[in-house]
């Protein structure tokens, strides 16, 4: 029980220390670390979505077929919710691009 209290106390102290004023150099270092971390995450998301499209193209599976999302999640080693989110994002990007097509000529220029 004592170990748990000390862990809670340490996390409370860490939160308190994080919110204390810091030097500009420390703030810049933290911001740089966040930018690098977020860039890595965005790259991993883009690679996963590319692989998702490749898997769908190779397999010829319909997204409406039962078990497709589960199969994709197992192949990509992510949760089904992550696959659903990725598919929604890919579909949203596709729908947005299609919405910008010219109604007269079908060109993809900005209308």
pLDDT bucket at 111, cuts 50 / 70 / 90: very low
Number of domains present in the structure of the chain: 1
- Dump pLDDT digits (tens) for 38-95: 999 999 999 999 999 999 999 888 877 888 999 999 999 999 999 999 999 988 877 7
pLDDT bucket at 99, cuts 50 / 70 / 90: low
Q: How many degrees, rounded to 5, is the angle at CA 8 between CA 3 and CA 14?
A: 125
Is 18 within a domain?
no
Structural domain harbouring 32: 23-98
Kindly report the CATH number assigned to the domain that includes residue 68: 1.10.10
pLDDT of residue 3: 53
pLDDT bucket at 17, cuts 50 / 70 / 90: confident
């Amino acid at each position: 029980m004592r170990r748990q209290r000390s862990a809670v106390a340490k996390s409370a102290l860490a939160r308190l220390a994080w919110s204390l004023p810091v030097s500009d150099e420390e703030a810049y270092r933290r911001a740089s670390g966040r930018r690098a971390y977020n860039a890595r995450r965005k790259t991993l998301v883009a690679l996963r979505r590319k692989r998702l499209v490749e898997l769908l193209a190779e397999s010829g599976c319909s997204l409406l077929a039962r078990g497709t999302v589960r199969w994709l999640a197992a192949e990509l080693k992510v949760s089904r919710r992550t696959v659903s989110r990725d598919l929604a994002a890919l579909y949203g990007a596709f729908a947005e691009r299609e919405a910008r097509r010219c109604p007269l000529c079908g060109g993809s220029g900005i209308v």
